Homo-oligomer: A and B are copies of this chain.
């Protein structure tokens, strides 16, 4: 296989950008042709991310310095709102795997409700395919613009979509209690992300149903169920860099719950359902594109606990984006993504 696909990464100085580079570095069919960054434009990538020093990478440039006519696929790892403005101005025939929140919601009103501003590219919003690969695979193959999911949204959906589709749980009592590592918050300078503030403890955030990923849950779960579904969702910040674990409380027969999940993912290369009664740890998917899901029967009859774990930077964003890009480019879906988790 020759490196036939030229790749650009916009927003390469953030964590998802660096993760894309890490993954693509071992991909035999992709060549990184351009890397953009805003405040760090002009720097070698190894200055922004010294762990990529061994790679022969183009320097960081501004977006307008990139010649997109030579690019086969562009990853956009930009902040939301910026993303829609940038993508609107890119060539219309450029394949785009977007990692931002901008094209996840299909309904402009829903977008404005959760993100606080009207969408500037509503037509492209409509065109975009939701990037949860296992459930939108065929659409992604032919899509021009794929909207990467929220990392929390992906985790919750892996635990719940088959259960809702199969009708094995009550739709009005779903609780998703989620714990995430800090890299999901990005590289922004915020007091609460400092090591001294964040390490050695834990706290909840966006409590009570205010987290934006609820927009994705509402859209997707309602579509699957064919009726409105509203879940409770509380994310917590862990003193760890990578990894999301979602503990999902459902009312339904535990065996049916396990059967539903095991059946849905039986042939999936990245989503693994553990034997009944076992449950996962973020440590065992760290740095990888795998998602582990466990089901345990509760002592209260008719209730089950579903636990799902994935790495927010990999399966939750950059790995997912690469998986989708493989499909968009006609590559094997798993290429560059079979790296084993790093433990300890």
Contact = CB atoms under 8 A, between A and B. Distances in A.
A190 B243 CA distance: 23
Interface string A239-274: 111110101010000000000000000000000100
Given A208-B299, A272-B53, A298-B232, A344 B281 contact: no
State the number of copies, please. Answer: 4
Contact of A191 (B187, B281, B296, B342): B187
A279 B204 contact: yes
A199 to B, nearest CB: 6
A50 B189 contact: no
Interface in A268-293: 272, 277, 279-288, 290, 292
B340 A21 contact: yes
Given A280-B50, A281-B50, A194 B195 contact: yes
A296 B197 CA distance: 22
Nearest to A53: B272
Interface of A: 15, 18, 21-22, 25-26, 49-55, 173, 175, 177, 179, 181-183, 187, 189-191, 193-204, 207-210, 214, 230, 232, 234, 236, 238-243, 245, 247, 249, 272, 277, 279-288, 290, 292, 294, 296-300, 303, 305, 307, 309, 338-344
Given A193-B196, A245-B204, A340 B51 contact: yes
A212 to B, nearest CB: 12
B340 A203 contact: no
